[in-house]
Amino acid sequence: MTAATAGFWAVAVVLLASSLAVVLTPNLFHSVLFLAVALVATGVVFLFLHAPFLFGVQLLLYAGGVVVLVVFAIMLTERIVGLRIRQSSHDLVNGVIVSVAVFVGIVGFLVQSGPAPAAPATPPPGGDQTVALARAILGPYAVPFELLGVLLVIALLGALYFARED
């Protein structure tokens, strides 16, 4: 077993455990912290797949931006309501049944498709495609991307306005 394989399995265990903790933890704030761990572990999986750009996007947008936004929402909502928000997992049995069914379907598909070809030890010879990918994503969509950022800041300021005490 190589170090990369052992590292992948370690990250997979952390990802699975933190994902289960997101669903099963009754404290909503702790659930968001476990979500941050799961998102960072997903980013590390991208590193194992030789995709550093996707790792950066995963960390900045999801583990950074989304988690911070949710933490702000929890803080502001608890302040408005004045109560600690508890998370409850209703219909846990139905969720487990659906999850097992999806897992069996994915495993069945993987078994039918046969063994995967050996992955190359180095990235493809095309070089780093990060710049081309960034131009493709942000080139025609730079203005809507910036407007979305402004919209999120306005929403955050609106939430702060409504959460303040008179």
Inter-residue long-range contacts of 120-128, CB under 8 Å, 24+ positions, other chains counted: 122/50, 123/50
Lookup result for tokens 């994902």 = 19
- Residue listed under structure tokens 């780093």: 128
Mean pLDDT of the chain: 82
Percent of the chain past pLDDT 90, that is, above it, reads: 23
Q: Give which of 22, 86, 32, 23 is closest to 62, Cα–Cα.
A: 32
Structure letter (DSSP) for residue 1: -
Which one, of 68, 15, 3, 1, lies nearest residue 46 by Cα? 15
What is the arithmetic mean of pLDDT over 91-106? 88
Q: What is the mean pLDDT of residues 17-39?
A: 89
- pLDDT, residue 81, reads 57
3-7, 87-91, 93-97, 107-111: the lowest-pLDDT one: 87-91
pLDDT at 53: 81
Confidence (pTM):
0.64
Residue 37 has pLDDT above 90, yes or no: yes
- What mean pLDDT is predicted for residues 146-164? 81
Give the torsion sign (CA, 32, 34, 36, 38): negative
Which whole number is the average pLDDT over 93-104? 89
What's the whole-number mean pLDDT along residues 131-155? 81
Q: Which of 10-14, 15-19, 111-115 has the lowest mean pLDDT?
A: 111-115
Other CB atoms closer than 10 Å to residue 36's CB: what's the count?
Answer: 19
Burial of 54 by CB count in 10 Å (0-12 exposed, 13-18 middle, 19+ buried)?
middle
> pLDDT higher for 10 or 147?
10
* Per-residue pLDDT at 127 exceeds 60: yes
